[in-house]
Amino acid sequence: MSDRLQDRHVLLTGAGGGIGLAVAAACIAEGARCTVIDRAAAAPEAVRALQQRHPDRLAYIAADVTDTKAIAHMLAEAQVAFGPIHTLFNNAAVFDLAPLLDSDEASFDRLFAVNVKGMFFVMQAVLRHMVEAGTQGASVINMASQAGRRGEALVSHYCATKAAVISYTQSAALAMAPHGIRVNGIAPGVVDTPMWDHVDSLFARAEGLPPGEKKRQVGLAVPLGRMGVPDDIAGAAVFLASDEARYITAQTLNVDGGNVMS
């Protein structure tokens, strides 16, 4: 590894496993110290395993990103652990689907609470900290989705939340440019994580498919011929957090095997 993030503090939400934890591992490999945030009261087993390998470079904090008081507490704890935050990987999100005419208010509220409200107020709190601390090389990476680039008949609320992530990324980048803070996004395509097993089960029920069939179909439809894996996203995240991306801001990078062209 090239120590591209040497001694930088990376705060990651939604990082109890999957993409978030893969990004944390990649950042640690590049010399970073990582504060991992997830809802579970105790660190998940995968987090504990990474922490055992890097006890001085990984801290775990339980927090609900939809609670603004919890965000303030989370940020204070993170600074106690590793000092000023250099990069935010803003990843916490939930998924649901339903036919448009059957979609209910509870699903709408839950998706927007986590994917939009939580994303925005975590970003705002961390950006305020970065401005006050004058952190050099500071950056924010918001996790969007290919779903934010287009509508989908069964996934209207989720698509709308991820479109909001892309829009907030652009606005925040313009607001933070005078402070030298970069704000970018990543829009993954279909990534093989435990969350996609949940997504597959929802599609199976909605479309009358056998379990695993939707996952098989979307993998085959990717131009590069496979679903992504968390490490595919981790490479992009490390790049955007590093000085190699020092002249990149207000962009949302498609990491999707060619699904979306922009």
- Which residues are known to be catalytic? 158
- Which CA distances in Å does 3 have to 15, 29, 84, 239? 21, 7, 19, 12
CA-CA-CA-CA dihedral for 165, 167, 168, 169, to nearest 10: 80
Number of neighbouring beta carbons within 10 Å of residue 40: 11
Sheet order of strands, 252-255 included: 58-62, 33-38, 9-12, 87-90, 139-143, 182-188, 252-255
Distance (Å, whole) CA 177 – CA 117: 22
> Tokens 């991992």, residue?
36
| Number of other residues whose CB lies within 10 A of the CB of residue 194 | 9
Q: Give the sign of the dihedral formed by CA 138, CA 4, CA 246, CA 17.
A: negative
DSSP 88: E
